[in-house]
């Protein structure tokens, strides 16, 4: 009886020690590098209280999700009427992260309340040909300073 237990223990120990799996290192796929050269078209519209802003400039930073410290952007465009709506179109963009910064003016407001600004980040996930609409909410310093405290 004792011999049987010793034999099974030796067999179990041999199986545990001999079974070693060699784990191959699998590298993570490279992160997509955003920029020109893709199939995506972004149609960016700036809005102040859900009304389209028709005067201003929209700046774009490739491969970023936050404001650049040096305030240097990769591309920009002035807002103009396209497809019946004021917007800036950025085409031929690749998969990746994009950061937008907008400076605009609202005709219905009086200075200095007419100066508007806003920012947004956007991620292009697919590499297929597509058109995406991006809406950026703008505000002025008066809006920022008069936010009710909760």
For each successive 10 residues of the chain (150 residues), what is the average pLDDT? 76 73 82 91 94 94 94 96 94 96 83 84 92 93 56
Residue 24 lies in a domain: no
The total number of structural domains that make up the chain: 1
Residue 132 lies in a domain: yes
88, 44 contact by CB (below 8 A) = yes
Residue 121 lies in a domain: yes
Residue 23 lies in a domain: no
Residue 11 lies in a domain: no
Range of the domain at 54: 36-145
CATH (domain of 57)? 2.60.40.10
Residue 16 lies in a domain: no
Distance between start and end Cα atoms, the chain: 77
What pLDDT shows up at residue 19? 63
Residue 112 lies in a domain: yes
Strand partners, 136: 46
What pLDDT shows up at residue 142? 64
pTM of the model: 0.75
Residue 31 lies in a domain: no
What pLDDT shows up at residue 45? 97
Q: Indicate the pairing of strand 130-137 with strand 36-48.
A: parallel
């Amino acid at each position: 009886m004792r011999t049987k237990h010793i034999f099974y223990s030796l067999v179990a120990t041999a199986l545990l020690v001999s079974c070693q799996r060699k784990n191959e290192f699998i590298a993570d796929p490279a992160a997509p590098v955003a920029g020109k050269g893709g199939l995506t078209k972004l149609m960016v519209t700036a809005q102040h209280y859900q009304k389209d802003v028709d005067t201003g400039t929209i700046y774009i930073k490739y491969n970023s999700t936050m404001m650049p410290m040096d305030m240097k952007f990769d591309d920009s465009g002035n807002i103009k009427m396209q497809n019946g709506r004021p917007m800036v179109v950025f085409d031929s963009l690749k998969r990746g992260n994009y950061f937008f910064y907008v400076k605009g003016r609202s005709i219905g407001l009086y200075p200095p309340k007419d100066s508007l600004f806003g920012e947004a980040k956007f991620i292009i996930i697919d590499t297929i040909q597509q058109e995406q609409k991006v809406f950026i909410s703008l505000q002025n310093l008066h809006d920022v300073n008069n936010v009710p405290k909760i």
